[in-house]
Amino acid sequence: MAVLCPECDSPIIVDTDEVDAGETIQCEECGTELEVVSVDPLEVTAIEEEGYDDEDHAVTLDEEDE
């Protein structure tokens, strides 16, 4: 099965017998690490190595507490 790299749009061949959701693969074209979000349908997301900023705000924000 193939999926398009979200970074460079190159097709990446993924053997869905070998990978599971949550595993990490790497785009051979641009070297971006991609996390397999799901295998059916095949979906990947780029792993940002830096700037994990505003993905979600599950962390308690206790500014403005006064």
Positions in the binding site for Zn ion (CB under 5 A): 5, 7-8, 27, 29-30, 32
Least distance to Zn ion, CB of residue 34, Å: 8
Least distance to Zn ion, CB of residue 49, Å: 14
Least distance to Zn ion, CB of residue 56, Å: 25
CB atoms within 10 A of CB 50: 5
CB closer to Zn ion out of 26 and 38: 26
Tokens representing 4 are 């398009």
Query: Distance between alpha carbon 6 and the CA centroid of its chain, in Å?
Result: 9
CA distance 16 to 31: 20
